[in-house]
Structure 1
Amino acid sequence: MTNYVKAFAVMIAGLLLGFAMTAVSLGLGRGFGALHAGPWTAWPRHGAPDIDPYARAVLARSGEAPLGRDQGLAFFARTDSSGAPLDGRCDYRILDSTPAARFWTLGAASATGRLIDNPADRYGFTSSEITRREGGSFEIDIGAQARPGNWLPVAREPFVLVLRLYDTPLDVESAPDPTTFPKIVKLHCA
C-alpha cells in the first residue's frame, strides 16, 4: 500500500512541476528564433506553419494574431537604444531610419500589449501619414504630455513600441543591420 502512495505522490509532484515549468516558460518569452536589431526584436516564425509549441501557446494566451511571413514582420522594443527600459515617465524621440518596406506602422502599447488609453485617441503612426521634414526624414516624440508635431502619447508606466513592416524584403535568415532601424533616444524623465 505504501508503494502506491509513494507512486501517487511522485506522479502528483511531477505533474505540478510540469505545470510550473510550462507557466514559467510561457511567461519568460515568446518562443525560439528571435531576430534582434538594436532594441528591436521580432519572431519571424510566429506567422509561419513551423512555429514552435511554446510560441504557439504564448500567442494563444495573448490572443495576438501575428503577421504571416509573406505579409511582413512585427518588431517590439522594450528598451531604448542605450538598453534602459521604456518608461512612460520619461520622454523619448524616435529618429527616422526604417528598413525597406512597402508600408510600416509604429505604435505604443502597455507592457502587457494593450492599447494605451489617451485623450488624443492616437495609438500609432503609419508611413503614409507621418509629418516629414524636407528630404523625407522624420522624428516622433513619445511622452505623456502633448506636444506639436509627431507625438505618440503614453501612460506614465512601462510601455512597449511595436514597429510593423509590411511587404518587406528584409532577410529573416540573417541578422538585420541595426542602423536601418529607428533609434529610440531618451530625452528626459519627470
Structure 2
Amino acid sequence: ESPVDAFNRPRHRGDFGLRIPPSRAEMTAFFAAWRQELGSARKYPVAVRNYVMAKTAYISGVRATELCLVRLGDLHWDNGQWGRFLVQGKGARGSGPREREAFMFAEGRELLWWYIEEVRGLFPDDALDPYAALFPSERLPAALGAEVAVAPPVCADTFRRSLRAASLAHLKGTVTVLFPHLLRHACATHNYESGMPLWDVQVLLGH
C-alpha cells in the first residue's frame, strides 16, 4: 500500500520495499574507492566500462536497459550546456520505446570523454563506427568472428552483477548493495536535495 495516497499507489504487484538510496557522501566515497581499484583490475577495459556505466547511470538517471543500448553516435557533445546523449526510453502506459535526450552534466561529460579517449578503443571492435555500442561486450560473437566490425552491447544483467559486486566491495553505510534502479533513485533524490525543482527531476528521469 502507498504511504501517500491511493491515487499514487503502484499499479503492478510485487514484493515492495523501501528503496532508500545511499547519501551523496556515501556515493562519492563509493565511486572514489571503485575508481582507485581500476588500475589493478585483471581486465582493465571491462572494469572501466562497468565503472563508467554505473557512474553515468547515477549522474544521468537513465535505466540499465537504456544505457546498454546507447551507441557512440548517440553522444552529442554540443547539445545543451554540457552535452546530452540519446536513449531509447520507456514509453508511458505500454506505448513502446520513445527516444529522449539524457543529460551528461559537467561530471558526466568529463567521465565519458575520458572513457572515449582512453578506454573505448581497447575493445575488439571498430570504435570509430557511430553505430557501435558505447558500452560493448568484451568479445565479438564467436560464430561470426573477425567478420563482425561492431561488438554487441553489454547486457543489463552483466551490468547489474558488476554493480552488485562493486557495491559489496566498496560501499560503506546503511545500504551495502546497489542495483541499477537504485542509482536512478539516488540521482533523483540527490538532485532534489540540492534544490532541483521536482518538474526538472521528472524531465531528468524521462517521466
Fold equivalence (TM over 0.5): no
Whichever structure has more strand as a proportion of its residues is 1
TM-score, length-scaled by structure 1: 0.21
Structure of larger gyration radius: 1
